[in-house]
Amino acid sequence: MTIQHKNGTTIISDVINRTLYKCEYQSFTDKECKSLFKSHVLNDLTRQGKDLFEFWEYLPKEVNVLLEKFNSEDNDYTQCESLLKQLKPLGFTFEYELSAEPFNLKKL
């Protein structure tokens, strides 16, 4: 089984199978299964070298809240530095240049 993301990236069946196995045999709640699936997808996308900014729907809520706040402001590279400092404790990093446009979001 595979899932085709809207940008053409395929989420491999191994990710889906690992999640289903754990959810079925370890009595996880639906919320726990959804969180586990997102985590497996993010790990797989990171291994593939994908920019996780393109896969925001799989990011943890805390990360999306920070990104939404960042996107609602006029930013410069100092705001990028601040965002990066807030994301690192959540397990994420990205790159940026003086243009203040972050790119290449990855899990640490």
Number of domains present in the structure of the chain: 2
Strands (E), the chain: 3-4, 10-11, 92-95, 103-107
The arithmetic mean of pLDDT across residues 39-44, rounded, is: 84
Task: Report how far apart, in Å, the C-alpha atoms of 28 and of each of 22, 36, 94 are.
Answer: 8, 9, 32
Among the listed residues 9, 40, 38, 105, the one whose alpha carbon sits nearest the alpha carbon of residue 66: 105
DSSP string, 35-57: HHHHHHHHHHHHHTT--GGGGGG
- pLDDT for the residue numbered 94: 95
- pLDDT for the residue numbered 1: 44
Are 85 and 46 within one domain?
A: no
Whole-prediction pTM value? 0.75
pLDDT reading at 79 higher than 70:
yes
Kindly state the percentage of the chain with pLDDT values over 90: 32
Kindly state the percentage of the chain with pLDDT values over 70: 79
Structural domain span for residue 60: 51-108
Are 55 and 32 within one domain?
A: no
